[in-house]
Amino acid sequence: MNIEAPTNETFRYNASLHNGSGKPVIYELTTDMPDGWMIAYKVDGNRITSLNLDGNKTQDISIEVNAAATAKPDKYKVRVKAVSGIDTLSLTLEAVVKGSYGLDLTTPTGRLSDEVTSGSQKEIHLVAKNAGTLPLNDIELSSQLPSKWECSFEPAKIQQLDPGKTVDIIAKLNVPDKTIAGDYASTFTIRNANSNAQAAFRIVVKTSLLSGWIGILVILLAIGLVYYLIRKYGRR
């Protein structure tokens, strides 16, 4: 039974255990496999380590194997045993590790915060890297932003990214006018059918200099109006 998959995906096998005796038998399920690997036996979706099987009965068992993260591309043997007091049944599975999928998303400096002025556009430079050993195709870009914020990417989509290679991405962030000054959380995501990565940003919004002067002018006009009213009507 041979299955091929990358290291970060589960190898799934279907097996059957048959009790050929005429009486119930309890089977303990054990495995010989490489260091760092993990295995799970399931019956009807429930995880088990042993099975009480009536005489002359057969039970379907799902076997899920996860390779170690450090497993190199190769063929690996996974020996499964059902051990009882009267017999030992064995089955050899083969897991073909073809490599790994992996994506990283960061910035050229590693900094994940920036400043932007309310009502303006900000370019955020990102770097996407294929951190696995297999090529990645059709990588899409998306963002999670505060309400009414907008973002576009350049390039809008990455057609192919080979292992170890990087692509520079520009996220063009549009912050609406009259956005209240403060800290805002924004998340940028890259993904394809095999992997994904995120970069969580802290965006500090500042008000424009013009808005500040307008606010000061309004305050001064209000003070002037009060002073005028006091001078005109204060003695009456």
> CATH topology of 2-97 equal to that of 103-207?
yes
What pLDDT does 231 receive?
A: 67
Which residues fall within 8 angstroms of residue 169, CB to CB, at 6 or more apart? Answer: 125, 126, 127, 128, 141, 153, 154, 155, 190
Specify the pTM. Answer: 0.69
What pLDDT does 69 receive?
A: 84
List residues bridging with 124 in a β-sheet: 171
Q: Which CATH class is domain 103-207?
A: mainly beta
Among the four given CATH numbers 2.40.10.410, 3.40.50.2300, 1.20.59.10, 2.60.40.2310, the one describing domain 2-97: 2.60.40.2310
What pLDDT does 87 receive?
A: 87
What pLDDT does 136 receive?
A: 95
Which residues fall within 8 angstroms of residue 164, CB to CB, at 6 or more apart? Answer: 129, 130
Apex CA 66: angle with CA 65 and CA 72, to 5°?
Answer: 120
Per-block mean pLDDT, blocks of 10 residues, the chain (236 long): 89 94 93 92 95 95 94 93 92 93 94 90 95 94 94 96 96 91 94 94 79 60 69 61
Domain boundaries, the chain: 2-97, 103-207
